[in-house]
Chains A and B, each alone.
Chain A
Amino acid sequence: MSAWMAKLRERAAISPFRSAAAPGSERDSAPGRRPPSPFWIMVQKEFGDHIRSWRFMILLGIVTLACIGSIYASVTALKNGAGASGASGQADAASSFLFLKMFTESDGSLPNFLTFLSFLAPLIGIAIGFDAVNSERNKGTLSRVISQPVHRDDFLNAKFVAGLLLIAVVVFSLGFLVMGMGLLTIGYPPSPEEFWRVVVALIVTTVYVGLWLNLSLLFSVRFRQAATSALSGIAIWIFFLVFYGMIVNLVGNVTAPSDPSDALAVMHQQDWLMLLQRLSPAYLFQEAASTLLLPDVRTLNPFVTQDQAYLALNAPLPFGQSLLLVWPQVVAIVAETALSFAASYVAFMRQEIRSRS
């Protein structure tokens, strides 16, 4: 009790001095309208900086081109498909989620939207984050900002939040762009379920890009040179995109059970490989997004017993069930994001900030 009283007294002693430290700022402004906290000021500035930067324009250009290309490919595929199946295709369009096919179908000339997205999304994250901290350090602005009455973690948080906001804006505007253009070209409106599936898929994409943003933030804290941090980000991206699957396959070949008729051993091994595979955020995202956009996907397990396959209804999953199916994947992506953020946080808080060093 007495300790609590002491704390109160201390607070009372501090608060009048606070207003003295920033003379006039609180008193002059209209009552009740506190100036925004430094955190939001920083987020605002970061966001503005990103939007005005050339890098962002270039990225946006690339991604927009990719989107238009994928729409073109999917629309041609849909037209051909519709022509082939004739009148019956028209009839069951509602049940076959024609609208969602815009995101997943392709005529083979170009990858579909989902593939493009899973390929380019990490690049957006890396491009936004790779020089977030080290460029400020090298320009000497970090020590100036940190010597203002700002919490040190606010700086890092602001970088992250601004980046994530920007990513959300980009991802959603692209997603809606594709939806709108598809609506114009195929003239078939989405059902509410399709709409929500797309929205959730876009949210998952945002989270996924956020992971890459965080990873590149970590590198930008860790490495003093922006080029080094960009390269490490890209290296990890390529590693997960190209090599990780190969390595897992290799491991699978080596550890394959000697007796292929031993079902239990085979299943164990497959489970284990799946776990390895799912360490990769790229794989997780692929699973999550394709399940959301392809309602026909009923399970993410590689093994389905004959009974299960026989008994399963050959019908798409309802939205809620799809969501339930990808929930672990989403949680895993968020967990990986949190992990890399924690790492950059710890690294940043421990660093000594001197001017330009």
Chain B
Amino acid sequence: MEPAVIELSKLTKRYGEFTAVNALDLAIRPGEIYGLLGPNGAGKTTTILMMLGLTEPTSGTVRVCGIDATRSPLLVKRRVGYMPDDIGFYEDRTALDNLIYTAQLNRIPLPEARARAELLLNQVGLAHAAGKRVGAFSRGMRQRLGLADVLIKRPEIIILDEPTLGIDPEGVRELLLLIRELSQSEGLTVLLSSHHLHQVQQICDRVGLFVGGKLIASGDIASLSRQLDGDTTFEVEVDVRDPDGSVSERLGRLDGVLSVEAAASDALAVSGTGSIATYRVTSAVELTSALALAVVEHGAPLLGLRPVRAGLDDIYHSYFEGGAAHERLDG
């Protein structure tokens, strides 16, 4: 295994009584896209600030590219691009000016800075707005400009704090695609924090779940669900026309079926057709085809059948149900 490019060990940050980050261990490999996932106030931003040496940890160490970020933040900041959430630009300057300024702060001489800035503006699709004042930019444009701003120093690692906050869905899709492309073409390591599960799921190789200053689970989606669930069950959603509830009974009698629940079906689909029901069938073994057969044999029209994979949403949700229960016990 390659040596980790970001390595946190026993990282702790306290603000007075409050512990923002608690004994965090994390290793991120070069070239991967890592999603730091957690609710607001979980300590994601604090962790990121410590990685850049912008905040001193109370205890523990941060090593980025093998450099101690607390001791020599300047060396780290040379190699790491950081996009804060809600990134700000000098509003009365043009996009190009803003980028060139950042480049010059990185000791890139002016002609090259200009060339790079123009190239990057092209890459993020802002070439037409290069001469416009940033004050006139929309949220999505700012975010894309932020990405260009991060990339202009040619970093090895980019850290994006809530990059998708406040952009419309299409904008999010484009931005994430851009990040993914850049990561692949430049071999960048990307660390991105978010509380938008779907987005993280779309582009991240690995995900860390971050709650109350602790990393409670880390890995790809599959291993994450295993870590959190413990037991493995299969779930299938079945849409059938079932006016009298007999299909549900029939399904419940099948071998291996643990439970059949009427799921809250899509309100839009239901209106008009009336009697369509959606059942969520939980089983210990894979039963999808058997379910289909059972429905058809029963003579009921089968309208839909889809296996449910544990998404990040479910993982997230199931954890918080547990977390809330813990709190209740503690209290």
Contact = CB atoms under 8 A, between A and B. Distances in A.
B187 interface: no
Interface in B145-175: 149, 153-154, 161
A35 to B, nearest CB: 4
Contacts of A34: 107
B106 A22 contact: yes
Interface in A45-60: 45, 49, 52
A35 B104 contact: yes
Given A24-B112, A355-B88, A147 B55 contact: no
B102 A148 contact: yes
Given A139-B88, A353-B54, A144 B149 contact: yes
B220 interface: no
B88 A38 contact: no
Contact of A355 (B87, B91, B108): B87
Contacts of A151: 74
Contacts of A190: none
B108 to A, nearest CB: 5
A22 B91 CA distance: 27
A14 to B, nearest CB: 7
Contact of A37 (B52, B86, B107, B112): B107
Contacts of A144: 84, 87-89, 102, 149
Contact of B74 (A36, A140, A149): A149
Contact of A25 (B55, B86, B107): B107
* Residue from A22, A45, A140, A148 with most neighbouring chain B CB atoms (10 Å): A148
A29 B112 contact: yes
A21 B102 CA distance: 15
A336 to B, nearest CB: 31
A41 B104 contact: yes
Given A29-B109, A353-B54, A21 B101 contact: no
A9 interface: no
B225 interface: no
A354 interface: yes
Contact of B78 (A22, A24, A29): A22
A143 B77 CA distance: 12
B75 interface: yes
Interface in A119-165: 136, 139-151
A23 interface: yes
A49 B255 CA distance: 75
A354 B13 CA distance: 15
**Count class of interface residues, chain B:** 20 to 34
Given A41-B101, A148-B153, A149-B74, A355 B86 contact: yes
A147 B104 contact: no
B90 interface: yes
A143 to B, nearest CB: 5
B61 interface: no
Nearest to A352: B55
B57 to A, nearest CB: 12
A148 B108 contact: no
B82 interface: yes
B45 interface: yes
Nearest to B74: A149
A137 to B, nearest CB: 9
Contacts of B79: 21
A24 B85 CA distance: 30
B105 A148 contact: yes
Given A18-B78, A139-B91, A147-B84, A35 B153 contact: no
- Residue of B74, B77, B84, B90 with most chain A CB atoms under a 10 A cut-off: B84
A22 B112 CA distance: 11
Nearest to A138: B88
A36 B110 CA distance: 10
A21 B52 contact: no
A75 interface: no
B45 A42 contact: no
B27 interface: no
A141 B85 CA distance: 11
A52 B112 CA distance: 26
A110 B275 CA distance: 92
A356 interface: yes
A14 B75 contact: yes
A38 B108 CA distance: 10
Contacts of B109: 25, 28-29, 33, 35
A25 B108 contact: yes
B49 interface: yes
5 contacts: A21-B78, A139-B88, A143-B84, A147-B54, A354-B45
Interface of A: 14, 17-18, 21-25, 28-29, 33-38, 41-42, 45, 49, 52, 136, 139-151, 352-356
* Interchain residue pairs A-B with the least CB separation, the first 10: A140-B88, A355-B84, A147-B82, A35-B109, A148-B105, A139-B88, A141-B88, A149-B77, A21-B78, A149-B78
Interface of B: 45, 49, 52, 54-55, 74-75, 77-79, 82, 84-92, 101-102, 104-110, 112, 149, 153-154, 161
